[in-house]
Amino acid sequence: MKYFTLNNGLEIPAVGFGSVLESDVANFEEVYENAWSTGYRLFDTAASYGNQIALGKWLKNSDHARKEYFLTGKVAQSEQGYEETLSAFQKTLTELQTDYLDLYLIHWPKEKPFFETWKALEHLYDEGLVRAIGLSNFEANHLDRLLTKAKIMPAVDQLETHPYFSNHVTHDYLEKLGIQHQAWSPLGHGGQELTDSVIKSLAEKYDKSTGQIILRWLYQKGVATIPKSTNTNRQKQNINLFDWALTPRDEQLIDLLQRGERVMGAPDENYSADRW
């Protein structure tokens, strides 16, 4: 595994395991144990996913030492606010059966309790209950507002990012601020990018899967990723990225696939009643 170093010195795995929902698979613990055996050490979850209890049970039963894995959690929209966030965090710790999180994020920008939510994350960080704090789905306008009052610079911003939506404008902004860009849905939506003719031709050239081509492209741009798969072979492929590289020309070919096509709507369009 390779790592990126966050702005507070904490190392984060370059590739983590995106949440598999308990309701989607009959063998939840087996899927996660296979991911562990393959080499994944970052496990991403969120209060709104409804899988924290199952994930905590697997971690407890697996007997993996806590220092060996990296846990990311997120406070849901309905739980934002200072006291509400602190309460939600404690519930997350209980469900995951852990004493701390490695990374805690605000899941979506929400106007009314915005600063109070961030203040709660700063408190959790100061108390040593979380090793890094950050954001999810925050774009430049949200960051600009946050930084007018934030005492601690966010360490991570988790954003929808894939070849058809490279999110390059926000990426460049994050680089200037020293905030680590992490991609959710890095392989796109519905498999479209996995069957794109350019991606397929590069997969043939490098003798790799189309998913590996996309994930390697993101890694070379300095973007951490959290792909998810219940298939053991694809789990192995998605983490096998570090002993080969795309040429600059081939990297640029993927850059040119940018269409501005999101899997989900823009942050300011989702949950519109709560937005800026």
Q: What positions carry a catalytic annotation?
A: 49
Q: Determine the Cα–Cα distance for residues 117 and 219; give it in Å rounded to an integer.
A: 30
Residue 239 φ then ψ, to 5°? -105, -5
Residues 6+ positions from 69 with CB-CB distance below 8 Å? 36, 41, 42, 43, 59
Residue showing tokens 């940018």: 258
Q: 214 in helix, strand or coil?
A: helix
Residue 241: burial class (beta carbons within 10 Å; 0-12, 13-18, 19+): buried
CB 64 within 8 A of CB 90: no
Contact between residue 124 and residue 215 where contact means Cβ atoms under 8 Å apart: no
* Tokens of residue 47, six digits: 């209060």
Residues of 128-151 as b/e, b for ≥16 C-beta within 10 angstroms?
A: ebbbbbbbbbbbeebbebbeeebe
Instruction: List, in sequence order, every residue forming a beta bridge with 130; answer none if it has no partner.
Output: 101
For β-strands 70-75 and 42-44, DSSP reports them as parallel
